[in-house]
Structure 1
Amino acid sequence: MSTIEKIQEELDVLTLETRQHEIILYNDDVNTFDFVIDSLISVCEHTPEQAEQCTILVHYKGKCSVKTGGFKELKPKCSKLLDLGLSAEIV
């Protein structure tokens, strides 16, 4: 294996490890604005303003990216949102 191939392989591994994912929150007809805002503040560590903006986007657009990061970081947060009765997924 040449040096260039080895470096490219290392870069490919680093790219996979640092790939960013997102938690997408979807609109529903069950949860109140206040509940969704409080959930985003506690689970995703949003500021009140950020949580309110995301909640408005979810309401009017149907979905919103509420958190970005590595899969390992996002998985427990997404699970917590699901446990709270919100509709979310990691993409």
Structure 2
Amino acid sequence: MSTIEKTQEDVSVLEQVVKDHEIVLFNDDVNTFDHVIESLVSVCDHTWEQAEQCAMLVHYKGKCTVKTGEYKDLEPRCSMLLTLGLSAEIV
């Protein structure tokens, strides 16, 4: 086995082990667009434009992935979104 093949094999295994998770935000009839946008900017480090686009997707599609990453990074962010009254879960 060549070094290149071994390296590609190692990368493939590593990619399988480090699986990203997602925070999915769900639509509700309670929170205003401004509250959702401000929450995403604050908690998920979105730009105002990113947060606004996510809020629109949530409104019209019912849900939107708002952050992707490792579970240990997403868990406190998702908890904060829930504390702010938003409906979210990690998948």
Q: Is it true that 1:60 corresponds to 2:60 in the alignment?
A: yes
| Root mean square deviation, CA, Å | 1.7
Aligned equivalents of 1:36, 1:65: Cα separation in 2: 13
Deviation of 1:42 after TM superposition, in Å, equals 0.1
- Percent identity among equivalent residues? 69
Please state whether the residue corresponding to 2:25 is helix, strand or coil.
strand
Query: Structure 1: which 4+ aligned runs deviate by more than 3 Å?
Result: none
Q: How does 1:19-34 map to 2 (within 5 A)?
A: 19-34=19-34
- What is the CA-CA distance between 1:39 and the residue it aligns to? 0.1
Write out per-residue CA displacement over residues 18-38 of structure 1, whole angstroms, 9 at most, x where no aligned residue.
Answer: 100000000000000000000
Unaligned runs of 5+ in 1: 1-7
Structure 2 counterpart SS, 1:60: helix
- How far off its partner does 1:58 sit? 0.1
Q: How does 1:1-91 map to 2 (within 5 A)?
A: 12=13, 14=14, 15-16=16-17, 18-91=18-91
Offset of residue 63 of structure 1: 0.1
| Amino acid of the structure 2 residue aligned with 1:33 | F
Cα distance, 1:55 vs structure 2: 0.1
Provide the C-alpha distance between the structure 1 equivalents of 2:48 and 2:83, rounded to a whole number of angstroms. Answer: 21
**Structure 2, unaligned runs of 5 or more:** 1-8
Q: TM-score, normalised by structure 2?
A: 0.84
Q: C-alpha distance in 2, partners of 1:42/1:83? A: 13
